[in-house]
Structure 1
Amino acid sequence: MTTTTLDIFVGILQKLLDAGTIVSVNTTMEFEDYVDEDKDDAIPGADPSDISFRVWKKIELAAEQRVMVDGRLIDDIEDVLFELSISPSDCDIERFCKLITELADAGHIVQAKVGEDEVRILELEALGAGKLKALYIFIEDAERSLDVDENQDQDIEDTFYHESDELTYLADFYVTYDEEEARFRLYPPGFNEDLEDAVDLYQRIFLPRMRAARAYGEVPGLIYH
């Protein structure tokens, strides 16, 4: 069976976990999944409840493209918010930043708080001494297309692209799987997805394209925006 953009997303999350990142799952589950079925006060069909739990060992794909974390199946991956944070004593900070950037390049939503603003991260870099540099766009800019004609009298970088070194190792990052954007970025127009394995295409063509873009001073997240 060929792989998909979900295989790529899960693979990056597992690499983050292996690098010492603290990974938590925030989602909504049916309450009946968490009651003791042997007890008389179990409440079948109760309203869904928001839950959060830490992933300790494994994030993987099970049958039918369902995500499994430490043996627990996730019903709908697009309803899951992954919370990522750094443990300075355990986490490979350089690798953490590289993988956060890779998630953003691949089209997934990576958000953090810069000052008082919730922003979408494009790139992350370790500066040392507990500091991180982030390239980002504001959420409202991330939700609309980059129309150069409408902004021809403005500096595009000033309008859409911002840089900050305010983030520290205490920052939390929130990641959501975005299948539509991931497919748009990975596959050329008119491409038959059944002809080639997604992970192979990603490693062989997509990642080198991202490296080439940065070598020319471009920000891949803005190329696609």
Structure 2
Amino acid sequence: MNRTQKTVFILVGAVALVLGLTVHKVLNGHGDGTDKVAQLDAGIVLLPQARSLPDLSLTNQDGQPVVLDQLKEQWSLLFFGYTFCPDICPTTLAQLRQLKGMLPADVQGRVRMVLVSVDPNRDTPQKLKQYLGYFDASFVGLTGAQADIQTLASAVSIPYIPADTSKENYTVDHSGNLVILGPDGTQRGFIRAPLNNDKLAEQLPPLLRSEGGA
């Protein structure tokens, strides 16, 4: 199986996961079905049960260690990307900046945007800080050992294929979906790519208000 075939296989598996979770949530969930349909239409897929994150420590854009358990007290939207990405990453980060500005003032402080680098070979803390500054200086960047990032990505069902770093100007195949973390630090679901900010701006506030946060 060549690299392209592997990429297609993994991404198809991710799509199947999302669709399976979607059907389960709509058919077997409790509460207002209209609300659930509206969430799904906005690309928000909530898990039937929250998932704990692995016990890992990464490094943020300021060079400080960040234990994943520290991603509490606020909701977090995790995007797995990298600073040398030619298309989906800058587009997604620009959309997240726009989405943040579209949220009501009372919920903006309840959510943090996090870029987890899938290219730690090039994405030093300094590079992450410079890159995120082009979008929103409040965004968090995380990098670390490739094995740790793979462990985290697998735990939250976000596929990517580590690049052959021996090649010049290499790219990294990765998913555009976002991971939703709750204020207790567990994974609550996904937001499917491509992002629809108009619909997300309507559907995210009730979710972000549903539990305590900063």
Q: TM-score, normalised by structure 2?
A: 0.23
Bigger relative contact order (CA 8 A; separation at least 6): 2
Structure having the higher strand fraction is 1
Larger radius of gyration: 1
